[in-house]
Amino acid sequence: MIRAASTHSPEVARREAEHARKVERIAAQLRGRAGGGHVSVRKRAVAHQVPKPGDLRRKDEKVDLTDLDRIIAIDPAARVCVAEPGVTYVDLVRATLKHGLVPMCVPEFKTITIGGAVSGCSIESMSFRFGGMHDTCLEYEVVTGTGEVLTCAPDGEHALVFHMMHGSFGTLGLLTKLTFRLVPAGRFVRMRYEKYSTLADYQAAIHRRFAAQDVDFMDGIVHAPDEYVLSLGQFVDEAPYVTRYDWLRVYYLSTRERTEDYLGTFDYLFRYDRGVTNPRPRTLLGRLLFGKLLGSTAWLRAAERLHFLLPHLRPTFHLDVFLPSSRVPEFMAWYDREFGFYPLWCVPYRLPRRYEWLDPRVFAGVEDDLYLDLAIYGMRPRDGRDYHRMMEVKLRHLGGVKTLISHNHYTEDEFWQTWNRPNYERVKARTDPHDVFRDLYTKTCRAAMGRPG
């Protein structure tokens, strides 16, 4: 296995020393706490959570991670990067591209951070090869709720801590350093768009590509129940032309109109930065006037600052759901009947193993190693039904999982039928015995939803 970056330059040593001082400050804050309320992180970049009006986490004591935003080392020979959690993907990609490399998972919004991608979630068009960001990591440094500093790897003493960090939303400790793998990149990405009119043909095409692994990128857009686009990308070093989608053009719409396209690699990776299927500004005039200024970061920051204006009832629906590929036909028949909202973003995802953070019941009767992430972004509820709740119930029946960044209505008992309680509690007892960070259910399903306790 590739180990951490072997770059031992004086500059790297200086950055490591600087990093160690920051970590000591954070650990001391946690060691010195005299009880009291819960803590959560403050980071420099905006949080990519669906903003919620009564979110209790806003009132938490903060552990300040704002200066943890440095790349410590890139080892081009080993194709490994060591970085602090607050590094944004836009900064990371700029730095790695200088070496002709990119991370194996680049979530499409520029200011998602590597720490947030592991602690929350991450998917994108290389996920059919590599899974999520956490699947590409080799080592984490974690500061526990008692101020201890652990080094965790996929095997060894703290292996379970390592595996449970993904999706723990900062409740099992603070990530303070990550070591992860990189892959070679071309200068451009050549896109081809395959069009299908039935779900069966679409899924068959996805399975063929998944088996062949003969493209670098694969995702797609379900424009309508009879209009499926599979977007296939290949790194190339020359391009007859390039198209940019960072101002007037909307990328997801181009997949409907075009059969082929070329994008610069950087532009490809952030092609959805102004929204995947709900880009802002929505109109051409709006984009002409404000499109250069208003990326995802500006919108999310405005929503967070003005959180008191967010609607309490019928919030706009933003959600990612993961489903075993074999269960997608049943899901889509139900979804079309009950939700009927399109377009959907579709991201094929390789499940490298049965994740430790999921309860074994999730996998009952499931043989799939290919999952589909279906992203429903920007649906305005048509009636008073609780669409989040409907989705939670349906996913439990189908062995599906939703990300916890949106609105969560699970009861505690239901929640722990999907998330793995024994594994979670084993790690929690080791890394946060005094419940400084809250537990995962309380943080994501109660505090985030404005419910104490």
Ligand X SMILES: Cc1cc2nc3c(=O)[nH]c(=O)nc-3n(C[C@H](O)[C@H](O)[C@H](O)COP(=O)(O)OP(=O)(O)OC[C@H]3O[C@@H](n4cnc5c(N)ncnc54)[C@H](O)[C@@H]3O)c2cc1C
- List residues near ligand X by CB under 6 A: 40-41, 43, 45, 47-50, 65, 85, 107-109, 112-113, 115-117, 119-124, 169-170, 174-175, 272, 276, 318, 405
Question: What secondary structure does DSSP assign to 248-313, as a single string?
Answer: S--HHHHHHH-SEEEEEHHHHHTTTTT-SSS-SS-SHHHHHHHTTT--HHHHHHHHHHTGGGS-SS
Provide the 8-state DSSP code for 216: S
Supply the minimum distance, in Å, between the C-beta of residue 313 and ligand X.
20
Distance CA 35, CA 56 (A): 18
What is the signed CA dihedral for 420, 421, 422, 425, rounded to 10 degrees? 120
Supply the minimum distance, in Å, between the C-beta of residue 13 and ligand X.
23
Q: Give all strands (DSSP E) within 126-200, no chain letters.
A: 137-143, 149-152, 174-184, 188-196
Supply the minimum distance, in Å, between the C-beta of residue 76 and ligand X.
25
Supply the minimum distance, in Å, between the C-beta of residue 34 and ligand X.
22
Exposed e or buried b per residue across 228-250, where buried means at least 16 C-beta atoms within 10 angstroms of its C-beta:
bbbbbbebeeebeeebebeeeeb
* Closer residue to ligand X in complex, CB, 7/119: 119
Supply the minimum distance, in Å, between the C-beta of residue 94 and ligand X.
17
Supply the minimum distance, in Å, between the C-beta of residue 241 and ligand X.
26
* Closer residue to ligand X in complex, CB, 128/272: 272
Distance CA 126, CA 216 (A): 7
* Closer residue to ligand X in complex, CB, 170/400: 170
Burial of 32 (0-12, 13-18, 19+ CB in 10 A): exposed
- Kindly give, in sequence order, each residue whose CB lies less than 8 Å from that of residue 37, ignoring residues fewer than 6 positions away: 60, 61
Cis peptide before 281 (omega within 30 of 0): yes
* Closer residue to ligand X in complex, CB, 330/435: 435
Handedness of CA 283, 284, 287, 290 (dihedral sign): negative
Provide the 8-state DSSP code for 365: T
Provide the 8-state DSSP code for 225: T
* Closer residue to ligand X in complex, CB, 60/261: 60
* Closer residue to ligand X in complex, CB, 239/449: 449
Distance CA 247, CA 215 (A): 27
Supply the minimum distance, in Å, between the C-beta of residue 181 and ligand X.
17
Copy the structure tokens of residue 269: 């990776």
Distance CA 407, CA 387 (A): 10
* Closer residue to ligand X in complex, CB, 320/392: 320
Supply the minimum distance, in Å, between the C-beta of residue 175 and ligand X.
4
* Closer residue to ligand X in complex, CB, 175/332: 175
Supply the minimum distance, in Å, between the C-beta of residue 365 and ligand X.
28
* Closer residue to ligand X in complex, CB, 232/375: 375
